[in-house]
Amino acid sequence: MFTDHYELTMLQAALHSGAAHRRSVFEAFARRLPDGRRYGVVGGTGRLLEGLEQFRFGPDELNFLAQNNVVNDETLAWLSDFKFSGDIYGYAEGELYFPNSPILTVESTFAEACILETYVLSILNHDSAIASAASRMTGAAGARPCIEMGSRRTHEESAVAASRAAVIAGFYGTSNLEAGLRYGVLTLGTAAHSFTLLHDSEEDAFRAQLGSMGNGTTLLVDTYDVEAAVRKAVAIAGPALGGVRLDSGDLLAQARDVRALLDSLGNTNTRITVTSDLDEFAIAALAAAPVDAYGVGTSLVTGSGAPTASMVYKLVSREGDNGEFVAVAKASKNKTSVGGRKYATRRLNNEGVATAEVVGIGHRPDADANDRPLLARFMTEGVLEPGWIGSDGVVRATARHAASMAELPGAARRLQRGEPVIPTEYETAAPVPAAEN
């Protein structure tokens, strides 16, 4: 039921016309990147595949549709037996994408592919937006780790998805325990201001945390006076104090002052973590500060100004009356699509640097030994291929993101507004059957 009303009414009409069972090819892609962005990151594929295995219409769902006259009896009967039985290909999760990259391809009957549209787009648009923002943040942070801390700023299920997407795009860990449970990602956290306010003094709060968690813990030092708090923390924990966290004020100035104070007190190994509404620009501005880690919340889980990847899901090829596949495309003004089954390659130069996204229409692009094919197979005749979901899928996607980022020209990491860092080029040739891969 994670779908729109009109998906099922389209299904009903297609069943009526007899076209519902035509073999069809749908593609998810973005016509453009968010304004000024230079690349995007594919996120959510593993979650999509996990959910697809459970995408069913049971008695409760069918009763709702019947009682509300959403679809007729014929359609209800079809839905009662639904289980996706087609093929799904696409860019591996963590892969980079550009305008018109064929990010996901669904090949099945029209009926099966049609009712997945909203589900596919809701996951890919959300998770890719988060992964893309996270990638910009980790790029700005360089070798310093980023920690995802945005659960309280979004829907509870979106929080889990955001944590997962952030880790795929290079975040060190998350505060979200459900993400740790489901996907095996590292979870971190110590205490908030309320813990300090609970105690009769800041010293009492620090002693309690250190006594419970050990001297390697991180103490929040800006509840009252930062300098006084740092001195108290060092007096209690000594040189073994693991870290301090700053969550307010001028973080650049405070980080410098705190570093100097810690060093003067002999705590040269005590780390400084900064939080407080950070985004990629704030992280970049702190590059010269003596900061050891960043905690990122609101900006990360809202896509840092681009809360959706603006992907669409379009029919690009379908079976004709003669059994042959026919390329189809939308011609609406400013919303055109390119017909035909797509194949994609990342063109690399002799140094292994990406120079173009090459999309073949109806055929695989011409490639040399340097170039890297981009499409992977996720599902064959409704059966999930191994390695794409759960914790294994997150590990695989994290590695894919790191490797793909290493291929990009250096300009990709600039935060200034610009065009996509590599162009998307089309190659056309004699078509091949859409079922071939």
Q: What is the CATH number of domain 5-130+306-428?
A: 3.20.140.10
| Spans of all domains in the chain | 5-130+306-428, 190-291
Please tell me the pTM assigned to this model: 0.94
Q: Could you list the pLDDT tens digit for every one of the 437 residues in the chain?
A: 999 999 999 999 999 999 999 999 999 999 999 999 999 999 999 999 999 988 999 999 999 999 999 999 999 999 999 999 999 999 999 999 999 999 999 999 999 999 999 999 999 999 999 999 999 999 999 999 999 999 999 999 999 999 999 999 999 999 999 999 999 999 999 999 999 999 999 999 999 999 999 999 999 999 999 999 999 999 999 999 999 999 999 999 999 999 999 999 999 999 999 999 999 999 999 999 999 999 999 999 999 999 999 999 999 999 988 889 999 998 877 777 899 999 999 999 999 999 999 999 999 998 889 999 999 999 999 999 999 999 999 999 999 999 999 999 999 999 999 999 999 999 986 544 444 44
CB neighbours of 126 closer than 8 A, spacing ≥ 6? Answer: 43, 44, 158, 161, 308
> Smallest Cα–Cα separation from 183: which of 400, 398, 402, 384?
398
Quote the pLDDT of residue 432.
45
CATH superfamily of 190-291: Aldolase class I (3.20.20.70)
How confident is the model over 5-20, as pLDDT tens digits?
999 999 999 999 999 9
